[in-house]
Amino acid sequence: MSDAIKPGQNTPAHNPKVLAINDLAGYSHTSLMAVIPILNTLGIGVTALPTAVLSSNTEWEGFKLVDLNDRLQEFLLHWQSLGLRFDAIYSGFLSSEQQVETVLAAIGMFVKDSSLVVVDPVMADDGSLYPCFSPLIVDSMRRLITQADLITPNLTEAVLLLGENYADTFTAGQVEQFCYALSGLGPQYVVITNVKTPDLPDKTSVYAFDRTSGQSYRATCDYLPVNYPGTGDIFTSVLCGLMLGGKSLFSAIDDAVKFVSKAMELTMKQALPQREGICLELALNLLHPDQKMQ
């Protein structure tokens, strides 16, 4: 794991640059189609490594997919020959154990002393792995997070990474323990998203733990009865961008939660099919410094 930047202490004098490793769905506000506009809006330059190119997100029937596994190493070697370095490496959806190895290679090639390594271990939800994965992906993701500074699993992914049994309900104390246990695997910052607990049945929570300070945190927003693909990509992208801009972890979580919640509310008003995802074009202006998210 890198000697990560200390969010909130030093704002970079230059425009930060991120290597974003994720799939690219042409018709979608998920994966790189969310990562790039969000980070650009926050003043972050993005170099994109598409792990696969899809015609649409996977919520649409008949989507087409071109896997780029065989080309990824060539891309990395070209960027290495150009002498590129990045302020953050940020990985999202990885289609196979081989692509996990690609991210590990990128970390070895491009991380510098102050780089932030962000891993969103996208592989499961609602208690189960996504159908495209075998159980082997869990061990690979577990290896990857040992090299991360910040991880953002949802509750199902957190449980899988820890080898725990999933349950329909976990208490707030149990989720806090999951954060603590995950930090013991390597990452300095652990953020578990999309959590509902019995003490706040009408809220959705994000839990966090900072191993260096030993502090835990919980941010909440009203539960919204919709399920838009890409909300995890959007949350982690905002969180990463704000931390690179100098915000502390907990402050950045607050703003990321508010942004996702507000973006969902704006999208709900459009009465579009949920599988289209969040209408980012309606919400990106909320990330501008002169805007306040309420």
Q: For each successive 10 residues of the chain (294 residues), what is the average pLDDT?
A: 43 79 94 97 97 92 92 96 96 94 96 92 94 93 98 97 94 97 98 93 96 96 93 97 96 97 96 92 88 61
Q: Is residue 160 part of a domain?
A: yes
pLDDT for residue 284: 96
Q: Is residue 1 part of a domain?
A: no
Torsion on CA atoms 88, 263, 210, 187, rounded to nearest 10: -40
- Categorise residue 126: left if φ over 0, alpha if ψ from -120 to 50, beta otherwise: left
Which range marks the domain in which residue 215 is found? 17-283
Q: Is residue 4 part of a domain?
A: no
pLDDT for residue 114: 84
pLDDT for residue 168: 86
Q: Is residue 289 part of a domain?
A: no
> How many CB atoms neighbour CB 226 within 10 A?
12
Q: Kindly give the pairing relationship between strand 128-129 and strand 45-56.
A: unpaired
State how far the alpha carbon of 279 is from the alpha carbons of 58, 63, 263, 269, 271, in Å: 17, 20, 7, 10, 11
Instruction: Quote the number of domains for the chain.
Output: 1
pLDDT for residue 292: 61
Domain of 61, CATH number, reads: 3.40.1190.20
Q: Is residue 11 part of a domain?
A: no
Q: Is residue 288 part of a domain?
A: no
Q: Kindly give the pairing relationship between strand 17-27 and strand 45-56.
A: parallel
pTM score: 0.93
Q: Is residue 291 part of a domain?
A: no
State whether residue 246 is helix, strand or coil: coil
Tell me which residue of 261, 257, 219, 223 sits closest to 238, measured CA to CA: 257
Q: Is residue 79 part of a domain?
A: yes
Torsion on CA atoms 256, 130, 143, 215, rounded to nearest 10: 30
